[in-house]
C-alpha cells in the first residue's frame, strides 16, 4: 500500500464532524507515509482532505476532468494535478494510481466512484480493497441496503463481507495493510457456487 484513493463530497455537508473526519483522515494518510489520490478539487471535503495531507507533509495527486478544471474548482497547490478528458477517464486513472479505495461521506459522485470500483472487483477487473469510513452513521443505511441485496439473492455474502465499514480510522489502516486479493470473490466465482450449470 503506497497510494490511497479517497472519494468524498465536493460539499462539506451540514455537520462540522464531516470536515473534522476528512482532516483527521488526511493527517493519518500523511503520517502513514501514504500518498493521497483524489478528485483534484479544492472545495468541500475534497479540499479539506487534500489540505490536511499537504499540511502534514504528505503527497497529494489530484485527477480532475477538463470541464471541472475550467470551472475553477481544481486545487492549485497539489503535489501533482492530472487533467483528464472525462469522468470515465478520471475513474480509470485513479484506479491505476491507487492501491486501495476509501469513501468518506459524499453524494452521487462518491457512490458512483466507489461502486464502480466494487463492480470492477466483483467482475475480476481489480483486486484492490474498498472501505467506507463512517461519520455519525452516515453509511449505515447503505450497509443495510447491501445486507438486503444479500438477503434477496442479488449479492453473494462473500462479496458483502469483503468490504470494510467502520468509524474508526485507526482500525481502517491495519485492515488495508493486511488485505489480500485472495479474499475477494468475483461475480463469476459466486455464480458458479450458486448455479453449477
Q: What is the DSSP letter of 181?
A: G
pLDDT at 184: 47
pLDDT at 29: 98
Q: What is the pLDDT along the chain (197 residues), one digit of tens a residue?
A: 999 999 999 999 999 999 999 999 999 999 999 999 999 999 999 999 999 999 999 999 999 999 988 776 899 999 999 999 999 999 999 999 999 999 999 999 999 999 999 998 888 888 899 999 999 999 999 999 999 999 999 988 888 888 999 999 999 999 999 997 654 455 556 555 555 44
Q: What is the DSSP letter of 3?
A: E
pLDDT at 161: 87
The total number of structural domains that make up the chain: 1
Reading phi first (left if > 0) and then psi (alpha if -120 to 50, else beta), residue 27 is in: alpha
pLDDT at 191: 57
Q: Which of 69, 121, 78 shows the shortest CA–CA distance to 100?
A: 121
pLDDT at 83: 95
Give the residue numbers spanning the domain of 171.
Answer: 3-194
- 2: which 3 cell numbers? 503506497
Residue 136 sits in a domain whose CATH number is: 3.40.50.450
Cβ neighbours of 72 (radius 10 Å)? 9
- At 102 the three-state DSSP class reads strand
pTM of the predicted protein model: 0.90
H or E, element range at 23: helix 16-31
H or E, element range at 154: none
- How far apart are alpha carbons 30 and 68 in whole angstroms? 26
Amino acid at each position: 500500500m503506497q497510494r490511497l484513493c479517497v472519494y468524498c463530497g465536493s460539499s462539506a455537508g451540514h455537520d462540522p464532524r464531516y470536515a473534522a473526519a476528512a482532516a483527521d483522515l488526511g493527517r493519518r494518510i500523511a503520517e502513514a507515509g501514504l500518498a493521497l489520490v483524489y478528485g483534484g478539487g479544492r472545495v468541500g471535503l475534497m479540499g479539506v482532505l487534500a489540505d490536511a495531507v499537504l499540511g502534514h507533509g504528505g503527497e497529494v495527486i489530484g485527477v480532475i476532468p477538463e470541464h471541472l478544471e475550467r470551472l475553477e474548482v481544481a486545487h492549485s497547490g497539489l503535489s501533482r494535478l492530472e487533467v483528464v478528458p472525462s469522468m470515465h477517464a478520471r475513474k480509470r486513472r485513479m484506479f491505476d494510481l491507487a492501491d486501495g479505495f476509501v469513501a468518506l461521506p459524499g453524494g452521487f459522485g462518491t457512490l458512483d466512484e466507489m461502486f464502480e470500483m466494487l463492480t470492477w472487483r466483483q467482475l475480476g477487473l481489480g483486486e484492490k480493497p474498498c472501505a467506507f469510513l463512517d461519520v455519525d452513521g452516515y453509511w449505515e443505511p447503505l450497509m443495510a441496503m447491501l445486507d438486503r441485496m444479500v438477503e434477496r439473492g442479488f449479492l453473494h455474502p462473500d462479496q458483502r463481507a469483503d468490504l470494510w465499514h467502520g468509524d474508526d480510522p485507526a482500525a481502517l489502516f491495519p485492515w488495508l495493510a493486511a488485505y489480500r486479493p485472495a479474499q475477494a470473490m468475483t461475480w463469476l466465482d459466486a455464480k458458479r457456487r450458486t448455479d453449477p450449470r
